[in-house]
Chain A
Amino acid sequence: MTTQIQLQEGIKISSAIAETAQRKWQDYFSFNTDHKVIGIQYLVTSFIFYLIGGLLGTAVRTELATPDPDFVSPEVYNSLFTVHATIMIFLWIIPAGAGLANYLVPLMIGAKDMAFPRLNALAFWLIPISGILLLSSFFVGAPQAGWTSYPPLSLISGKAGEEIWILSILLLGTSSILGAVNFFVTIIKMRTPGMGFNQMPLFCWAMLATSALILTATPVLAAALIMLSFDLLTGTNFFNPAGGGDPIVYQHMFWFYSHPAVYIMILPFFGVLSEVIPVHARKPIFGYKALAYSSLAIAFLGLIVWAHHMFTSGTPGWLRMFFMIATMIIAVPTGIKIFSWLATMWGGKIQLTSAMQFAMGFISIFVLGGITGIMLASVPFDIHVHDTYFVVAHLHYVLFGGAVFGIYAALYHWFPKMTGRMLNEPWGSVHFILSYVGFNLTFLPMHILGIQGMPRRVAMYDPKFADLNMLCTIGSYLLAVSTLPFIVNVIWSWMYGSKAGDNPWKGLTLEWMTTSPPPIENFKTTPVLATGPYDYGSNKSDNQSDTTPHSKP
């Protein structure tokens, strides 16, 4: 532990530098190239879009409170869920993951910044631009073809809105690719000397896998959207059967990206869990290598299962069987993750902090979402529930219960590092309980709705489904309310929260070895590894020292 203490002292000496390195608020509104500024820019921007997307989701639920299309017109309803999903996926989860990674990856690997700081800033600034572009479509008739935007419907349901949608997705895709280039190069090339791949924190492994997926899959979406754009604007017939084109080709290209996209949206938060759980359970992560390589396995498998979204579409029987089996295999590496996390907690000294609550909530909810995913992969059953509320339930279980809970866990865990102040813990628990209850109230009944016969993307439905829908709507209001304690907590704590100190959770990864918030180039001296990232409880981490008060007798 000596080296680490030296490091800490080094930082105390450098605290003078840290003081002058305090960021001014203007920095956050400028083309700043510091990865920490950019990380916070990403996080705040994407959270604002989350509120907008959530507002649209709440509007969707309000419409569905009763069977009649009485709150908005059916056209507007279609725009609501289209923009809701587009914002949630492209402007909330994906940028939030990129934001966290921006803040954490250089710190965790002991680098001063990302490999290409200006590219990094550019990638960020594309996001608010395309977000505003997308929202502006409400003035000309927002896109109505769902976030999947299948032709031929997308070619005839409003040109202007659809083209704006395409442009903003192209910009967001570009942003995502530029970010991935940066992460990939940074993680491979800029680890502090002595940090081999197998000494790397698992969050970095997750980002490596995510970046590889982005680099492989996102460009194919760009190709599809370019072709869709030509069909829309110039009258070519790539996807238009009226002119001999093939709408199924679009579906293949779309899902070649959008299935991997779901892993782009979950892998970073798998990484977050692997960081949060050992710290708050005070126990080494269980099965480091298995966790690291399962991220790669998921990324690879994720590339060869896309047609499970097309089991009732233009796919022949044998193809359906192939994709069914490939899809199911993903349960294995994902199961390894779940069980490793559980084994990490088992026998630990768990502190039920807000971060840990969200991490455990993640596992609790994601498991159900994953299991319904396996059911969906089974072709005979998927034929029944495809395009129903069962799928809507599945996707919110993994996306909300997984990705969003993961983001919250990360924010509660790293907020002290980012701001130097603690979030209020009791209010964090209130936030967690409201979210957990509201979430299940909103989305659990949707499983039943789907199996019983309610299709998705409908503004009006059979009155026999009215009761369960009302329940979902009430749940969604509770869910909306649950964000309020969080927002207030963040704003209040950022200004007046109690001082965090450098390492409030006694973590062992490198980001905790510098000040909170870290100085401009992160570390005074190049950090040196004294322990592995998760060596809790071992005699190597000398607990008697005052840097780690959790002393072992």
Chain B
Amino acid sequence: MPDVAVIDYGMGNLHSVAKAIEHVAPKAEVAVTGDPAVIARAGRVVFPGQGAARDCMAEIERRGLREVIVEASRTKPFLGICMGLQVLFDHSEEGDTPCLRLLPGRVLRFPDAAMHDDKGKRLKVPHMGWNNVHRMMEHPMWAGIDDGARFYFVHSYYVEPATPDVVAGVSHYPFAFTCAVARDNLFAVQFHPEKSQAAGLRLLGNFITWEGK
């Protein structure tokens, strides 16, 4: 039984997530797996993802992973990363894609009309690079991480939760958008902790010791 299952559904670079976890928790058994039975038995679950929402959802369905993802998100420490945050919501504007409906809200594209800074300079999409993450709640996952610490982002869509009580962190580009959510044993982030150097490794380390409540 692995301590940590990193869900493999064929979308993106899962090895960097696994390597980062192994780095912060050398004794943990980390499995990169698409096997529902292994995911079901794991102590905690990381749900990463890159690429397009429609493809991610299609692969989750094709590999029969929906049920085990939903179950894990309700029962054990669960960390969503990037697309693994976005598809937790009801619906994504990207490809007009129905998602997992674990959290109420939708996923929107950064709107062209809003993409300029206060000097009128155009802002690029994807939102790519290191941005400040401001915490919106106290949470064990934020332990030892400065409020406003920079994490690495790369995305063109962002989540808009229907219920503000799940918002754990926000960033600005150029408006405030939700970059971290938390509810019970679930924590999910838009940024890439596995690529965010010390702050990111600390967040992953926190996940390894988090009890999920």
Chain A complexes with chain B: no
